[in-house]
């Protein structure tokens, strides 16, 4: 499975000895553990690390980085393996740093509405630990991802339209540089003009510039009132036009999600729901009772103008949970539409004014391709996914799915959009990154990478191809 | 006035010839023009550039950068000269790039709520050009600063508590690298995970990493309803505690500003107002009529619990304008408290839970110092300023003011804050930057600077001292 390459070399025995001495059974070269860490949720082939280590704190990560630097061993940070772009695949071998034992919530600063966590804390774990504080952490990629992984990929999800993405919610980081030194970026103040914004440089850097070992993330007050609803539309474009107007009016919706008719079918089958099998929007409104009522009324009027059928309200917490669990399970629900399939997930994001045009064009592209490919999206941000269902053993299908993705990305770029709203570049989108930003910007990224990681040991081959 | 140093060399005649040939009268070495560009609003001594050039577009900036690189000439970007930390001072000589003739609004994308501007566009100019669009640009440092300068210093102001700072409102940039290449960062999509976040790296980089020649900035819908109010408090700590509770309840105030009693005196004298001469909060609420009413009521109750006297409402637009004009003139109003003085302005920002403690401590520091120093602040963000009034000709007073600033900064750092909420590092805060972030983080900044500007030509001596 692991093709040999120039960077992939057997681990030197002295390296193994050093890490074994320091980490005992928390350092392993076991085939089973390596196999588990060489596999993510993408369609890319598995690529196994040569070893896995489970550190407990920043000092231990420094020790790992020092040993890797001394022996020229690639380093791949690993959260829960829910990446969709191959970020955690050890394409050049090396050691996977598994953060599952660095999963402490170190401080809940309720008065300042932030929390200090280790990178292995998952979003659900964090919200469980916040129970009773009156605060919550809103960012919710479908998976129960780790906060370190979410920061590294600049993740977002359904709440980003109101609460922002990891970009807006990471206040500061502790990270280990390739030279083994520990930097502390950002801080607990709500704003600062103190020097280069290293926090934002590391958020989205996919483990290629430094290894995140601690995060300060922003929390938000639990809304006093919450209501959620679904609304069916005659077609996708009518639904999208409702979204566009909602955003342009500045209505602070907490969630506004599109699912196409095929996705609703998948949800109904997988999650035992009885949703109307047409394009739908899922909404959630947060605020004071009066403001929630006002938002809901305005949006209902907009939906009606665009042919939206009756709103179905999910007012009880358990109904809302069921609704959003169904939404978060869309990826797995979609895979069920075709037995044995895997998903090639697209992730474009366009300016909101271009959203209807982009979605309609993508619908046509999918039809022309012959693939089964549900469309689902965080449309309040202009971001939507297609889940192209492929036979993972068919090289031809994967190639055709990649062609379809290529067409979708270039459609979005032509409309002023981005090749990835929230999944990242990983190993599959380097060419799109170049098309989106141009050679000089990519070279600037490469100069920064070269400056901070001259030996190319930090997650090599991700984001940037060799110069 | 210009002390000789290793970097300051006379401009080579060939350099002058090249720029004269290209720019004609838009390139000048005139003493008067250079004097104007060697002076900002800080207390630092003037430091004149050797020449000034007024480009019209990105290509012309490339030509300037190419000539500077060829001849080793330092480059200082210049907006309107309203910097408070010496950013535009030509401390090593060189050429000042004045962006006042790059002041076109290139595109208003109303549907996507963004605008593309040249860096010389000022915030008031932009809002004038947005008139009738239903949108506005909220960021308002006191001065009518240029957007390029505001991005370069990561500026904010009174609206940041609701609308964020330049960090949250710059979507993308066009910038010229030291090697003369043009990069395009970010874009018009609301979010993206495509590669390193060069936009945020440049925002706040004070002209030291690249020269910004175009910006995409976010706009916001004009609120349907606006109301503003002032409320007097028995003491500063009661006012601050009202702020803390307001923020912790998640009330989306648009502005919540503290002025101490001394500042109110200064405002009354300078702006001919008749405000109650005690510590006050200035508020503004944005939203639907119902939501504004609800916010205002909640905040009034909180203020009353903390001893706030009656709210004075400014409901008519002209009354609100007068109120905020008075607030924005605080710097000049304060200078009037002492004839012939200049201000040494401090700019700390602390976690909101520490704000009362920090302000109270700073009040004591000021009293012990014997200086006249009003306190004013964007307290919803935990950010406040003291304007220490000094005799600009007294080296002793300036040294004592810097000592006081030092004490204030270290007080804020001890409380988990930052040495600068919105003014930047410039030439005066390098030691504070080091104290705040530690040597490894500063070294990481230096590695990035070295990678992108190996000849140290871009605004040398700002943010980072030589390694």
Q: ipTM of the predicted structure?
A: 0.96
Task: Give me A69's structure tokens.
Answer: 């630097």
Task: Give me B217's structure tokens.
Answer: 């900035």
Task: Give me A432's structure tokens.
Answer: 């799109």
Cβ within 8 Å, pair B250-A220:
yes
Cβ within 8 Å, pair A417-B188:
yes
Largest Cα span, chain B: 70
Give the other-Cβ count within 10 Å of A174's Cβ: 21
Q: Looking at the structure, give the CATH architecture of the domain made up of residues A13-100.
A: 2-Layer Sandwich (3.30)
In chain A, what residues touch B200 (CB-CB under 8 Å)?
Answer: 167, 197, 200-201
Cβ within 8 Å, pair A191-B349:
yes
| B286 in contact with chain A, both atoms CB, cutoff 8 A | no
User: Does residue A323 contact residue A282 with C-beta atoms inside 8 Å?
Assistant: yes
DSSP state of B206: T
In chain B, what residues touch A430 (CB-CB under 8 Å)?
Answer: none
- What's the rounded Cα separation, in Å, for the pair A195 and B154? 10
Q: Please write the tens of the pLDDT for every residue from A294-303.
A: 999 999 999 9
In chain B, what residues touch A177 (CB-CB under 8 Å)?
Answer: 440, 444
User: Does residue B380 contact residue B159 with C-beta atoms inside 8 Å?
Assistant: no
Minimal CA–CA distance to A208: which of A467, A457, A466?
A: A457
CATH 3.90.550.10 given to domain B333-414: no
Task: Give me B343's structure tokens.
Answer: 């201000």
- What's the rounded Cα separation, in Å, for the pair B200 and B215? 12
Cβ within 8 Å, pair B382-A190:
yes
Q: What is the pLDDT of residue A6?
A: 67
Cβ within 8 Å, pair B250-A192:
no
Residues in chain A where the model's pLDDT stays below 50? 1-3
Phi and psi of A191, rounded to 5°?
Answer: -150, 160
Which of B87, B191, B207, B441 should be substituted to probe chain A, the one whose Cβ sees the most A Cβ atoms within 10 Å?
B191
Structural fold of domain A225-332: Alpha-Beta Plaits (3.30.70)
Minimal CA–CA distance to A217: which of A176, A193, A186?
A: A186
User: Helices B58-71 and B13-23, interaxial angle, to 10°?
Assistant: 170
- What's the rounded Cα separation, in Å, for the pair B232 and B212? 42
Q: What is the pLDDT of residue A467?
A: 63
- Shortest CA distance from A154: residue in chain B: B193
Nearest to A193 among B153, B181, B438 (CB): B153
List the domain boundaries for chain B. 13-100, 103-221, 225-330, 333-414
- What's the rounded Cα separation, in Å, for the pair A190 and A198? 16
Could you tell me the CA-to-CA distances from A407 to A348, A368, A413 in Å, in that order?
A: 11, 11, 10
- What's the rounded Cα separation, in Å, for the pair B280 and B264? 8
| B169 in contact with chain A, both atoms CB, cutoff 8 A | no
Could you tell me the CA-to-CA distances from A346 to A146, A408, B80, B309 in Å, in that order?
A: 22, 8, 44, 57
Nearest to B191 among A156, A192, A442 (CB): A156
- What's the rounded Cα separation, in Å, for the pair B285 and B237? 22
In chain B, what residues touch A246 (CB-CB under 8 Å)?
Answer: none
CATH no. of B103-221: 3.30.465.10
| B455 in contact with chain A, both atoms CB, cutoff 8 A | no
Q: Please write the tens of the pLDDT for every residue from B169-221.
A: 999 999 999 999 999 999 999 999 999 999 999 999 999 999 999 999 999 99
Give the other-Cβ count within 10 Å of A14's Cβ: 11
Give the other-Cβ count within 10 Å of B111's Cβ: 14
Contacts of A441 (CB under 8 A, 6+ apart): B183, B184, B185, B195, B198
- What's the rounded Cα separation, in Å, for the pair A73 and B307? 63
Contacts of A438 (CB under 8 A, 6+ apart): B183, B184
Q: How far is CA A314 from the centre of its chain?
A: 27
Q: Where are the beta strands (DSSP E) in A209-295?
A: 211-218, 220-221, 225-232, 255-259, 280-287
| B35 in contact with chain A, both atoms CB, cutoff 8 A | no
For chain B, 467 residues long, give each residue's pLDDT as a single digit of tens.
445 566 788 999 999 999 999 999 999 999 999 999 999 988 899 999 999 999 999 999 999 999 999 999 999 999 999 999 999 999 999 999 999 999 999 999 999 999 999 999 999 999 999 999 999 999 999 899 999 999 999 999 999 999 999 999 999 999 999 999 999 999 999 999 999 999 999 999 999 999 999 999 999 999 999 999 999 999 999 999 999 999 888 899 999 999 999 999 999 999 999 999 999 999 999 998 998 999 999 999 999 999 998 889 987 889 999 999 999 899 999 999 999 999 999 999 999 999 999 999 999 999 999 999 999 999 999 999 999 999 999 999 999 999 999 999 999 999 999 999 999 999 999 999 999 999 999 999 999 999 999 999 999 999 998 76
| B187 in contact with chain A, both atoms CB, cutoff 8 A | yes
Task: Give me A145's structure tokens.
Answer: 């991802």
Ordered DSSP codes for A245-263: HHHHTT---SEEEEE-HHH
Domains B225-330 and B333-414 share a fold: yes
Cβ within 8 Å, pair A349-B381:
no
Q: Looking at the structure, give the CATH architecture of the domain made up of residues B225-330.
A: 2-Layer Sandwich (3.30)
Cβ within 8 Å, pair B182-A440:
yes
What's the whole-model pTM score? 0.96
In chain B, what residues touch A463 (CB-CB under 8 Å)?
Answer: 195-196
Minimal CA–CA distance to A260: which of A134, A344, A376?
A: A376
């Amino acid at each position: 499975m692991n093709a040999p390459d120039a960077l992939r070399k057997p681990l030197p025995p002295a390296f193994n000895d050093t890490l074994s001495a320091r980490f005992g059974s928390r350092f392993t070269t076991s085939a089973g553990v390596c196999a588990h860490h060489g596999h993510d949720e993408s369609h890319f082939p598995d690529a196994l690390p040569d070893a896995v280590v489970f550190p407990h704190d920043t000092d231990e990560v420094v020790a790992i980085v020092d040993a890797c630097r001394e022996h020229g061993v690639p380093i791949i940070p690993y959260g829960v393996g829910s990446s969709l772009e191959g970020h955690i695949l050890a394409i050049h071998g090396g050691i996977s740093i598994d953060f599952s034992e660095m999963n402490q919530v170190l401080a809940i600063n309720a008065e300042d509405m932030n929390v200090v966590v280790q990178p292995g804390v998952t979003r659900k774990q964090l919200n469980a630990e916040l129970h009773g504080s009156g605060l919550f952490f809103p960012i919710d990629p479908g998976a129960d991802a780790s906060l370190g992984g979410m920061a590294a990929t600049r993740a977002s999800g359904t709440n980003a339209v109101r609460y922002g993405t990891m970009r807006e919610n990471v206040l500061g980081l502790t990270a280990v540089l390739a030279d083994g030194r520990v930097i502390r970026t950002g801080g607990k103040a709500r704003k600062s003009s103190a020097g280069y914004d290293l926090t934002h440089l590391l958020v989205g850097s996919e483990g290629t510039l430094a290894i995140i070992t601690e995060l300060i993330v922003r929390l938000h007050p639990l809304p006093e009132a919450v209501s959620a609803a679904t609304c069916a539309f005659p077609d996708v474009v009518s639904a999208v036009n409702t979204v566009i107007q909602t955003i342009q009016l500045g209505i602070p919706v907490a969630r506004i999600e599109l699912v196409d008719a095929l996705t609703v079918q998948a949800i109904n089958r997988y999650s035992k729901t009885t949703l109307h099998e047409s394009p739908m929007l899922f909404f959630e409104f947060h605020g004071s009772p009066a403001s929630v009522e006002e938002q809901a009324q305005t949006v209902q009027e907009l939906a009606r103008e665009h042919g939206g059928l009756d709103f179905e309200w999910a007012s009880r917490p358990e109904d809302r949970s069921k609704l959003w669990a169904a939404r978060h399970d869309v990826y797995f629900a979609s895979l069920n539409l075709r037995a044995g399939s895997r998903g090639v997930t697209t992730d474009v994001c366009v300016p909101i004014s271009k959203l209807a045009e982009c979605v309609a064009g993508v619908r046509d592209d999918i039809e022309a391709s012959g693939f089964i490919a549900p469309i689902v999206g965080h449309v309040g941000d202009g971001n939507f996914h297609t889940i192209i269902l492929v036979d993972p053993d068919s090289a031809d299908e994967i190639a055709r799915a990649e062609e379809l993705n290529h067409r979708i990305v270039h459609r979005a770029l032509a409309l002023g959009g981005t090749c990835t709203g929230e999944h990242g570049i990983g190993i599959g989108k380097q060419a799109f990154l170049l098309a989106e930003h141009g050679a000089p910007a990519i070279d600037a990224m490469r100069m920064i990478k070269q400056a901070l990681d001259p030996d190319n040991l930090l997650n090599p081959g991700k984001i940037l191809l060799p110069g």
